[in-house]
Amino acid sequence: MANLYVQSLHVHPVKSVAGTAPDEMAVEPWGPAGDRRWAVVDTTGAVITQRQQARLALASARPLADGRVELSGPGMPALVVEVPEPGPLEPVVLFGKKTETVVAASAAAEWFTAYLGQPARLVYLDDPAVRRPVDPDHALPGETVSLADAYPVLLTTTASLDALNALIARGDHPEEGPLPMNRFRPNLVVGGPAEAWAEDGWRRIAVGEAVFRGVRECGRCIVTTTDQRTSQRGREPLKTLARHRRIGKSLAFGRQLVPVVTGTVRVGDEVRVLE
């Protein structure tokens, strides 16, 4: 499949918060360097995402040196958050499963509590190499993941987004389209002359210095209906995915990947489908 290339790269330092689109990205065994190493949790330790708080879409986290992040959001002062010192670990709950993390400074708790209007804290995944294994039904021994939903890297293609937007235009809510790619919060966006949904069958791909194993489709949720510029929710793309892209129990868009060879990937790099 010739002439496929990296159209854009995306790193989200804080889970469910807007991130950045760098020109290059270091790929580590558990995902892009700095991606989803932080998360917001409530008083019970449950992770808060855009599923519960669509307003998170309007906040942003800019990565700084040494793992620090700078938070910003409407009506809020910018706040630089340092990586927490090693200390006692606290369990946090993501999709009903516990992961141990360390808690950031109280200033971040005050910031998110004020921003969200509910008690909230910021936590940091200190050691992704050991803290959170990938789903054993789709993993090899020892594979781990950051605080991403399930897998280290999410790939999407512009060809599939074009096809989805064409279906939305012919559906019940054409006024909601076309949707931008940021609805799907990918790490790696592939451009070029792929067929729509071709990524469903990609079992192994090479990008820049990295090689990835294709694991499974990405099941989509209510976050994809959230306008990332306004935080308003609609009905698409879930209505259209339910009609045209139901794979098992998933409303599918994108491909979940696990790195098998780490390295740097860059915008413009060739994407080679090996299997």
Q: Give one DSSP letter per residue of 69-95, joined into a string.
A: EEEEETTEEEEEEPPPPS---EEEEET
Residue pLDDT, tens place only, 238-261: 999 999 999 999 999 999 999 999
pLDDT at 136: 87
pLDDT at 1: 54
Please say whether the beta carbons of 225 and 235 come within 8 A: yes
pLDDT at 23: 98
pLDDT at 137: 87
pLDDT at 2: 64
Strands 121-124 and 38-41: antiparallel
Tell me the percentage of the chain whose pLDDT exceeds 90.
Answer: 95
Name, in order, each residue with C-beta under 8 angstroms of 106's C-beta and a sequence gap of 6 or more. none
3-state helix, strand, coil in the chain (%, to 5): 20, 35, 40
pLDDT at 36: 98
**CA separation for the pair 19, 151 (Å, rounded):** 18
Q: Which range, of 120-129, 136-145, 204-213, 262-271, averages the lowest pLDDT?
A: 136-145
Residue pLDDT, tens place only, 166-212: 999 999 999 999 999 999 999 999 999 999 999 999 999 999 999 99
Q: Is residue 87 pLDDT above 90, yes or no?
A: no
Cis geometry, peptide bond prior to residue 88 (ω within 30 degrees of 0): no
The pTM of this model reads 0.96
Name, in order, each residue with C-beta under 8 angstroms of 175's C-beta and a sequence gap of 6 or more. none
Q: Residue 266 carries which DSSP code?
A: E
pLDDT at 116: 98
